[in-house]
Amino acid sequence: MAGVDNRALSVMYNGSFLATPGVPAGSTPIWTDFFLTPDNRLLNRTGTVWGSGIAAVGNVQYNTSNGDWTLGVATTSNGVGVIYNGNWLPTPGVPSGSKPVWSDFFLTPDNRLINRTGTVWGTGVATVGRVGYNNSGDWTLGVTTTSNGVGVIYNGNWLPTPGVPSGSKPVWSDFFLTPDNRLINRTGTVWGTGIATVGAVQFDNSGNWTLGVSTTSGGVGVLYNGNWLPISGVPSGSTPVWSDFFLTPDHRLMNRQGTSWAGGIAVVGAVQDNNATGDWTVGLKTDHC
């Protein structure tokens, strides 16, 4: 039927496929085995419904030590909500039309960064990157401002960004991608040059981070704690997804060593990464029915 997306859906857990009996065709993978259905329900692969009337979602705060998760959403009625471990929390301080960012953080129509109770973490915020977060509760977020500047917020306090030029894009934690394609932190430490795009960071409980990138020359790379790791088998033109995973031009999901986890993949959701055990889960949409 015209207008209906009948591409198959699946969930991968540590490289093995899991069935998705409760997920209707046309759903979009969000995070772990969560999907957003065409009729605006948020559900997992077995069909457990976490919410209805969901228009958009932010990034999940996931605590790898105990499994707790928090997700901000925008609703089809132009409202907002926060789901914590499947339970809805009140959002008395968040105005209608706000955009979910991460955990219970929202970006308001008047460019304030606030949490669900209305605590203001920043004003004049135009865009945000991905939050760097650890299980101690510390968080770091790079932002761009409405005055074309940049900033970094650490646990609600603004940090100086002396090494970041105007026009840079926040990536993760205090990392930015500059207009001249350098990946730098807020103090100007250069992690890489010739960077075109970046994937999502894998960050473990020991503070190690892994980031896949694509380069301006059409190649790919992986950074681990600022050091470049060798790549084997990943074709040029691949898109970084998460950690050292890439989506190739011929729709294979593979790691930097060329191990192919799946073929026929069109869309990849956000990975649930439990670094305490090394387990990972991701929702997928294939390019076939």
pLDDT in tens, 121-151: 999 999 999 999 877 788 999 999 999 899 9
- Cα–Cα distances in angstroms (integers) from residue 129 to residues 52, 153, 232, 233, in the given order: 27, 11, 29, 30
Mean pLDDT, range 49-64, rounded to an integer: 92
- Amino acid identity at 154: Y
Task: Say if residue 4's pLDDT is above 60.
Answer: no
Q: Is 99 exposed, middle or buried (0-12, 13-18, 19+ CB in 10 A)?
A: middle
Task: Say if residue 284's pLDDT is above 60.
Answer: yes
Q: For residue 7, what pLDDT is reported?
A: 52
> Would you say how long the chain is, in residues?
289
Q: For residue 276, what pLDDT is reported?
A: 65
Q: For residue 1, what pLDDT is reported?
A: 30
Could you report the per-residue pLDDT of 59-75, keeping only the tens digit for each?
Answer: 999 887 788 899 999 99
Secondary structure (H, E, C), the chain: CCCCCCCCEEEEECCEEECCCCCCCCCEEEECCEEECCCCCEECCCCCEEECCEEEECECEECCCCCCEEEEEEECCCCEEEEECCEEECCCCCCCCCEEEECCEEECCCCCEECCCCCEEECCEEEECECEECCCCCEEEEEEECCCCEEEEECCEEECCCCCCCCCEEEECCEEECCCCCEECCCCCEEECCEEEECECEECCCCCEEEEEEECCCCEEEEECCEEECCCCCCCCCEEEECCEEECCCCCEECCCCCEEECCEEEECECEEECCCCEEEEEEEECCC
- At which residue do the structure tokens 């030029």 appear? 165
Could you report the per-residue pLDDT of 87-116, keeping only the tens digit for each?
Answer: 999 999 999 999 999 999 999 999 999 999
Q: Report d(CA 107, CA 95) in Å as an integer.
A: 10
Tell me if 71 sits within 8 A of 60, measured CB to CB.
Answer: yes
Q: For residue 6, what pLDDT is reported?
A: 44
Could you report the per-residue pLDDT of 145-155, keeping only the tens digit for each?
Answer: 999 899 999 99
| pLDDT tier, 5 (very low <50, low <70, confident <90, very high otherwise) | very low
Mean pLDDT, range 46-52, rounded to an integer: 94
Task: Say if residue 263's pLDDT is above 50.
Answer: yes
Percentage of the residues of the chain whose pLDDT score is greater than 90? 77
24 Cβ contact list (under 8 Å, min separation 6): 37, 38, 39
209 Cβ contact list (under 8 Å, min separation 6): 201, 202, 203, 223, 224, 225
Average pLDDT, rounded, for the chain: 91
- At which residue do the structure tokens 């958009």 appear? 56
Q: Report d(CA 259, CA 273) in Å as an integer.
A: 19
Could you report the per-residue pLDDT of 112-122, keeping only the tens digit for each?
Answer: 999 999 999 99
Q: Is 105 exposed, middle or buried (0-12, 13-18, 19+ CB in 10 A)?
A: buried
Tell me if 18 sits within 8 A of 9, measured CB to CB.
Answer: no
Q: For residue 3, what pLDDT is reported?
A: 43
- Amino acid identity at 231: I
Q: For residue 288, what pLDDT is reported?
A: 59
> Nearest Cα to 72, choosing from 108, 45, 38?
108
Mean pLDDT, range 250-262, rounded to an integer: 92
Q: For residue 2, what pLDDT is reported?
A: 36
Q: For residue 275, what pLDDT is reported?
A: 61
Could you report the per-residue pLDDT of 169-221, keeping only the tens digit for each?
Answer: 999 999 999 999 999 999 999 999 999 999 999 887 778 899 999 999 999 99
